[in-house]
Amino acid sequence: MYPELFRIFNLPINTYGVFLALAFLCAILVAVRLAARDGLPREKIYDLCLWMLLSSLIGSKLLMMFTEPEYRDHPSQLLSLDFLRSGGVFYGGLIGAVVAGYFLMRRYQLPWWKTADACAPGIAIGNFFGRQGCFAAGCCWGKPTSLPWGVKFTELGHEVTGVPTDSYLHPTQLYESFAMLLVFFFLWWLHKHRRFNGQVILAYALLYSAIRFAIEFLRDDPRGDLFGLTTLTHLSTSQLISVVVGISALVLLIVRWRRTPAVAQGAADLAAKPVRA
């Protein structure tokens, strides 16, 4: 609800940008720490995170370009200050980071599942800080509510994001923020107790997609229509992506979970097998 922190020579320092920078910084520090715990090289993880950061920014802008009619139908708006300052669409950033991460991990010869597991808790804590920034800016607002924790945004927030100021709204930004904080603590614990590589990142994908799918029902900000699918299915773009991500994560979790005992038993049998001289 405070979109602007202060000004330096009439240059506004936006709260959203500060929280976004904090989100990226915490995500990188968490990923490097967990990767080091798994014996992965710190230098390569730092490089990987920085490239994934850049890819996420590009991906978030690209998806926003496809979903927002204002930018899709008027390409000149892609160079506007509003487009450059906006955070973009999170799922676009996530997809961009995953695609870039896949190719970079192959180049750096890093194990995909183990490296992704180290990154997962960092992504969750990044979600926490990022949505705090959304709340401060007034974007990603919810539907009107009479619940006691409904919030009314300021006129400055309306000027920056267009958030309504005539009624109390669901603080959907805080719903997602605090939900992802709980997910972060769970993933941090799971990283130490996981049964197989890939369990942490797949758990993140499953939990985030479920949380995002549910919260979208309470969102009321305009989010565009991806190729007309929103009108056809009555689901938002993020809900459609959540369905794909959630089902894919669940299937992979089941497959890898079932393979783990067989792999472990096979290794045990091999270790117990006598060696002939």
Give the tens place of pLDDT for each residue, 85-122: 555 677 788 888 999 999 999 999 999 999 999 999 99
- Any idea what DSSP says for residue 165? -
Q: Which domain holds residue 45?
A: 4-194
Q: What is the pTM of this model?
A: 0.83
Quick check: is 228 in a domain? no
Residue 159 lies in a domain: yes
Question: How many domains would you assign to the chain?
Answer: 1
Residue 242 counted as domain residue: no
Q: For position 263, what pLDDT does the model report?
A: 45
Interval 23-63: pLDDT, tens: 999 999 999 999 999 999 999 999 999 999 888 888 887 77
Domain contains 277: no
The vertex-49 CA angle with 110 and 32, nearest 5°, equals 75
Specify if 230 maps to a domain: no
The answer to whether residue 57 is domain-embedded is: yes
Q: Is residue 211 part of a domain?
A: no
Lowest mean pLDDT among 29-43, 63-77, 144-158, 211-225: 63-77
User: Which residue has better confidence, 1 or 90?
Assistant: 90
Q: How confident is the model at residue 174 (pLDDT cuts 50, 70, 90)?
A: very high
Using a pLDDT cut of 90, give the percent of the chain over it.
Answer: 52
Half-sphere exposure of 273 (CA within 13 A, CB side): 9
Residue 141 Cα distances to 32, 71, 229, angstroms: 33, 20, 22
Q: Is residue 142 part of a domain?
A: yes
Q: Which tokens is 105 given?
A: 């991990």
Residue 239 pLDDT > 70, yes or no? Answer: yes
